[in-house]
Amino acid sequence: MTDPRPVDELSSLEAAQELARLATAIAEHDKRYYQDDAPSISDADYDALRQRNDAIEARFPKLVRRDSPNKRVGATPRSGFKKVRHAVPMLSLTNAFDAEDVQDFYDRICRFLSLKDGQQPTIIAEPKIDGLSATLRYEQGQLAQAATRGDGQEGEDITANIMTLPDVPKSLGDTAPALVEVRGEVYIRGDDFAAMNAGLRDAGKPEFANPRNAAAGSLRQLDPQITAQRPLRFFAYSHGALEGLDITSHAALLDQLSAWGFSVNPLTRACKDVPELLAVYAQIQDQRATLGYDIDGVVYKVDDYGFQERLGFVARAPRWAIAHKFPAERAVTRLNEITVQVGRTGAITPVANLEPITVGGVVVSRATLHNEDEIRRKDIRPGDWVVIQRAGDVIPQVVEVLLDKRAENSQPFDFPQTCPVCDSPVERPKGEVVARCSGGLICTAQRVERLKHFVSRDALDIDGFGDKNVELFAGLGWLHSPADVFAVPQRAEELRAMDGWGATSVAKLSAAIDAARRAPLDRMIFGLGIRQVGQASAKLLARYYTSFEPWQTAMSKLADGDEAVRAELLNIDSFGEAVVDELQAFFANEGNRAVVAALGATMDIQDVEVPTANASPFAGKTLVFTGSLDTMSRPEAKAWAERLGAKVSNSVSKKTGFVVIGADAGSKATKARELGVAILSEVQFRAMAEGEALASSQPAPSPSESEQSA
């Protein structure tokens, strides 16, 4: 692990030694990551090495090595693939970890669809293949393009490579529709993986850590001839864009995929209730070790496409599917040291630095300890032997301490009372579990983490402005506040003069920054990293205020205690006191108000587009639902209205556009009549909405239950 000594305390000899060690280590990790697709440390650990290297170089500029990681060009990712924008986004799945989560999923579906007893939806259970997803586009029956998932919106063009897979049909024959995107998982079987690694070993080449990495590395080869020699396979399990094919269920799709010559997983089963789902899960889990390929759970999907369409999406995952994961893999290792990290909001998170160990095919050297109470509850001490577990892409955790292996002289961990980065006092308000650095924006760690968030994919999404560059520019003193991001292009000349920055990379970054000036309001709001304000809440705020200025004015008023604004916010459906309190606290801070004002002045923030093209009768209108609806649940009605551009509110006022009245409607209906607000019956609402339903394709956001920022 990284030397924990503060950089300020290093002598120049120690600094030189450490820079030499870091240069070698980082070069090795770069090679493993970029060339071999076989990283042996987590991204966070890698970032820590780079950060340490940069900090030492900043303090000892004369000691910067010729082979410094910041000078090498070999560390840039391969970028030889063309980008492909997915016609239909490639979504991810929500996870279920136990029977209760599965029951909740099932109940939620029945409630959302307002299904009466006896109307059970068929659910298909199929193995969750541990590979990487790909989408294959067939035009007039011919394989025209293949792409990786990428970030879900945009992937890489891997057509030539996919063409080399024996179980991918190049043509779908006579029954092919005009257009179909077949989606599925590229994977490598265990025996093929072992043989392939043996070949690499014999050839003196680095081996892959596990079949998944091997599949990723093999698929992302710039030379398709190499891909052709790799034992890649493909299971088809869903579709993207589809034209000219009438399919009404997932089971029918799988049959059609088989008929076209795709491999469809043979363990797929149709189930009618939760006990059946759990039985299939248990069966698949029993067979896991002997399947011959890696799976990491079972995916449940609502069979009927009509139901799928009504259920729609939450953020990035469908409501109609869930991944029931297998229990986490565990291992025993030594905890060498406990260190702490400072997050974007100052949260101090203790981290276990472990003796590296392989868990489920991945080398783990750090695990989160969550917070002070957790350390105390589990009595975790430096030097202990611990059981760690890792589930999918979840951060590894310490499950328990092996007390019989504890050294006699072991000492409990002293939670720091001051921030390790800025030395400000650490505060932990009564009743809260999270300790925070009180340094606010004077704390470099907080500032840098906030800036990373601001430019990140879900916020301003500035291409080429990764964590490493945020650290670099912050270290150079160029970035203090988010608005400074937009001044980076003015430093183009300085940047070009720096090692590792060519004219092209500087021009690309500058162009990406300039483009981000025109970010939409919701991304800017999300980028501020206000606690409790995740992507979905940011979207709802942006939708409500539609453009920057009214939003900024309202937030200032809120901070000044304006009750009307507070009530207005609480009226936004699904906004509770917690979000509003955090917004108020954020804007009560002068510094934060200045940050927002500077962004307003520097950026050209885009108004929210309310769907008007198809002139939905609900676009931009506020809707209130009251009474019980007969043919759909409240959440479905709300999601539907939002898809058509409406805001859904809880209470009726003069500003309300429509009140939709179900059975036994009470005071809200009365108030609507008094105020002369338009009233719709459920049937009328459906008729108006159905007229528009076909026109809209984008799912409306609804906040995920756990939306929070750390």
For ligand IVH, the closer of residues 257 and 472 by Cβ is 257
CB of 362 to ligand IVH, least distance (A): 17
Q: How far is CA 680 from CA 125, 683, 688, in A?
A: 40, 8, 10
For ligand IVH, the closer of residues 93 and 215 by Cβ is 93
Binding mask 126-145 for ligand IVH (x = CB under 6 A): x-xx---x------------
Q: By CB under 6 A, is residue 323 in contact with ligand IVH?
A: yes
Residue 155: C-alpha distances to residues 86, 90, 220 (Å): 7, 9, 12
Q: Which is nearer to ligand IVH, 321 or 596 (CB)?
A: 321
Whole-number minimum distance, CB 27 to ligand IVH, in Å? 31
Q: Which residue from 75, 196, 278, 321 is in contact with ligand IVH, where contact means CB under 6 A? A: 321
* Dihedral sign from CA coordinates of 309, 311, 317, 321: negative
Closer by beta carbon to ligand IVH, 128 or else 390: 128
Q: Is 91 in the site for ligand IVH (CB under 6 A)?
A: yes
Dist. CA 372–CA 338, nearest whole Å: 11
CA 136/CA 162 separation, integer angstroms: 8
Nearer to ligand IVH among residue 299 and residue 700 (C-beta):
299
Rg of the chain taking only CA atoms, in angstroms: 27
**Positions 280 through 299 that interact with ligand IVH (CB under 6 A):** 299
Contacts 24+ apart (CB under 8 A), 454-459: 454/482, 454/485, 454/527, 454/528, 454/529, 455/485, 455/516, 455/527, 456/527, 457/151, 458/523, 458/526, 458/535, 459/523, 459/524, 459/526, 459/527
Read off the tokens for 272: 């009618």
Least distance CB 152 / ligand IVH (angstroms):
8
Of the candidate residues 92, 285, 602, 653, the single one contacting ligand IVH (CB under 6 A): 92
Measured CA to CA in angstroms, residue 147 lies from 112, 186, 240, 300 at distances of 33, 11, 12, 25
Query: Minimum Å distance from CB 240 to ligand IVH?
Result: 10
Q: How far is the CB of 629 from ligand IVH (least distance, A)?
A: 27
Q: Which string of b and e fits 606-622 if b means at least 16 CB within 10 Å? A: bebebbeeeebbbbebb
Candidates 111-119, 315-323, 375-383, 696-704; binding stretch for ligand IVH (CB under 6 A): 315-323
Work out which of 318, 346, 396, 527 binds ligand IVH, going by CB under 6 A: 318
Query: 581 in helix, strand or coil?
Result: helix
CB-wise, 101 or 581, nearer to ligand IVH?
101
Position 236 contacts ligand IVH (CB under 6 A):
no
Q: Is residue 417 helix, strand or coil?
A: coil
> From the centroid of its chain, how far is CA 242?
26
302 binds ligand IVH (CB under 6 A): no
Written as six digits, the tokens of 1 are 């692990």
Among 45, 185, 384, 471, binds ligand IVH (CB under 6 A): 185
Closest chain position to ligand IVH (CB): 133
Report residue 328 as tokens.
């986490």
Which range of residues in 122-130, 188-196, 460-468, 506-514 is near ligand IVH by CB under 6 A? Answer: 122-130
Give yes or no: 128 in active site. yes
- The stretch near ligand IVH (CB under 6 A) out of 123-131, 277-285, 469-477, 594-602 is 123-131
Can you state the angle between helices 577-588 and 590-602, rounded to 10 degrees? 80
Residue among 60, 208, 237, 501 that touches ligand IVH (CB under 6 A):
237
Residue whose C-alpha is closest to residue 90's, from 148, 161, 156, 129: 148
Among residues 68, 148, 238, 333, which is the contact residue for ligand IVH, using CB under 6 A? 238
551 strand-pairing partners? none
| Rounded Cα–Cα distance for residues 132 and 507 (Å) | 33
Q: Which is nearer to ligand IVH, 149 or 539 (CB)?
A: 149
Buried b (16+ CB within 10 A) or exposed e, 529-561: bbbbbbbbbbbbbbbbbbebeebbebbbbbbee
Nearer to ligand IVH, 149 or 643 (CB): 149
CB atoms closer than 10 angstroms to residue 320: 25
Q: Which of 82, 128, 378, 452 is catalytic?
A: 128
Looking at 196-204, 316-324, 405-413, 564-572, which segment touches ligand IVH (CB under 6 A)?
316-324
Residues forming beta bridges with residue 353, ordered by sequence position: 337, 366
- CB nearer to ligand IVH: give 91 or 214: 91
Binding residues for ligand IVH, rule CB under 6 A, total 15
Site for ligand IVH in 143-182 (CB under 6 A): 149
- Per-residue binding string, ligand IVH, 636-675, x by CB under 6 A, is ----------------------------------------
Nearest to 60 by CA among 20, 26, 19: 19
Catalytically annotated residues:
128
Task: Return residues touching ligand IVH (CB under 6 A).
Answer: 91-93, 126, 128-129, 133, 149, 185, 237-238, 299, 318, 321, 323
